[in-house]
Amino acid sequence: MFKGSIVAIVTPFSAAKSSGSLTVDEKRLRQLIDFQIKNGTSGIVPCGTTGESATLNFDEHEAVIRITIEQVKKRVPVIAGTGSNSTQEAIMLTQQAAKAGADASLQVSPYYNRPTQKGLYEHFKAIAQSVKIPIILYNIAGRTGVNIEPETIARLAKDCKNIVAVKEASGSLDQMSRIKLLCPKGFDLIAGDDSLTLPILSIGGIGIISVVANIVPADVAALVAAFAKGDIKKAQELHFKLLPLIKAVFLETNPIPVKTAMGLLGMCEAGLRLPMCSMSDDNLDKLKKALKDYGLL
């Protein structure tokens, strides 16, 4: 259900004429969703890291997920980002998304709190028990301060039947291999780093929750599809084609570069909410060069 190229979609903002404050651009969000599906994207993740979930209030969070579900119209799965460092908030957001019709929930590990492995287990178990929809764990210690150890993931996969996959953004293929080794059959490994899509597919991963797919969805989808068909040469060619662009969209903290790129390409306004800010001039020049080299700008 969750294989292929899944986009962690940006939340487009527009500046209010009266105040200049940034508000969610519903029309543009709907257009971006259609663009993704038209270009082979297999799933949509609203309100993830790339969607600036940390600076959306609860009403906006609910609205972005609802709009995404409405616009997708069951064409592909919607995996709603509903994690929090508060277990009760995560339960509330996840129940809200399930009621709205989300196909699954993406649950980032609690940030700032730095819970123990026991705390992580109890946190995710409580969320899983509160809903019937599938749960995908999101492991990204670089942004949360805590790693979900493979043993903890395996325990959750065995004890909670609706915890079905992990988005792995640890950067460690060793850790990902251990997850595949320890977890029950049918528990899915999904890449969380665009540059590691092909390596993760090679150890049994089923796809990518992608940032760069916001601007080149067809190529990311083609890479995963080529590997699935056994066309390793084509998958490798696409991997190396994408690599310089991937590096460029991570020159600064995500989603600063990818949203800047989308602004340069006329896909949406490049507006970011503080504490996200505009790129440095030096990195902006590097990003523009990468877009030109790729043939986009």
Annotated active-site positions, please?
A: 138, 167
pLDDT tens, position by position, 173-185: 999 999 999 999 9
pLDDT above 70 (res 172)? yes
- Tell which CATH architecture fits domain 4-231: Alpha-Beta Barrel (3.20)
Q: Which pLDDT score is estimated for 18?
A: 63
pLDDT tens, position by position, 72-130: 999 999 999 999 999 999 999 999 999 999 999 999 999 999 999 999 999 999 999 99
Is the N-terminal amide bond of 255 cis, ω within 30° of 0?
yes
Is the CB of residue 181 less than 8 Å from the CB of residue 158? no
Query: Percent of the chain, pLDDT > 70?
Result: 99
Query: Percent of the chain, pLDDT > 90?
Result: 97
Average pLDDT over residues 58-67: 97
Supply the pTM of this predicted model. 0.96
Q: Which pLDDT score is estimated for 178?
A: 98
pLDDT above 70 (res 17)? no
Which amino acid is residue 105, in one-letter code?
Answer: S
Q: Which pLDDT score is estimated for 259?
A: 98
Residue 129: which residues within 8 A CB-CB, separation 6 or more? Answer: 160
pLDDT tens, position by position, 241-292: 999 999 999 999 999 999 999 999 999 999 999 999 999 999 999 999 999 9
